[in-house]
Structure 1
């Protein structure tokens, strides 16, 4: 029987969501190529100005999912390694995942900048709270 820390589940869900967004990139690019909107040359050095916004969005969202979320993954492993996985950390972890998935849905959907900003800002507060909780617990823990 395998056992695991419950903090790994929200981490895995966010990783799977990131891979889902990653898979959207080639679909958007091939579709645009088939419609004659882009050529392979438009991606030689990243994305040229000819690349339509609908094709750029999945790539930009994927990059977002590889930036600040790295701090979430590190915090999850740190919570596990220091035996600090509890209801507070788990609740914050699930809130973070929900906010990041929500951010992606808005970004890739109706793309309202204010809605996106709200979700992004709150998610950053949540990941910061996880780190503050861990830092407090590390500083106040008895030395071994």
Structure 2
């Protein structure tokens, strides 16, 4: 069993995060130009401040990118720990792929139609997958 197989989902979600970063700026910069916002004159502020100025559909990409910097950090940590600990193959890899696919589906829902209930259901399923990975890591490292 390849105990590093879990790093495939890690690399995939990292790449997806960067795709969302590109998508965010590919929509945000033109929207800022249309809104006559001169970024060179902006001092301080955050992307959240653009929520009142830019169309929601543009900001959805930024919101999703921010979400990809939140819960997935736990995924990265536990997946790498499982790989280093020799537990990154088999069922854990399958669960990791399920988590990544669900996070990508969550992203696509949020940045296109942004139906909150759909997002919530997919997020809840992804969270259960992440919980399973965390539990497996705990069992493997603490209860061994």
TM normalised by structure 1 equals 0.87
Unpaired segments of 5 or more residues in structure 2? Answer: none
How many residues align? The count is: 138
Shift >4 Å, 4+ stretches: 41-44
Task: Determine if the alignment matches structure 1 residue 70 to structure 2 residue 73.
Answer: yes
- The RMSD of aligned alpha carbons is 2.0
Q: Is the 8 A contact 2:3 2:88 kept in 1?
A: no
State which of 125, 128, 138 in structure 2 corresponds to 1:122. Answer: 125
In structure 1, the partner of 2:20 is 21
Aligned to 2:107: 104
What CA distance in whole angstroms lies between the structure 2 residues aligned with 1:55 and 1:109? 10
The higher relative CO (CA closer than 8 Å, separation ≥ 6) is in 2
Aligned partners of 1:39, 1:4: CA distance in 2, in Å?
49
How far is the alpha carbon of 1:38 from its aligned partner? 4.6
- Which residue is equivalent to 2:93? 90
Structure 1 unaligned residues grouped into runs of 5+: none
TM, length-normalised to structure 2: 0.87
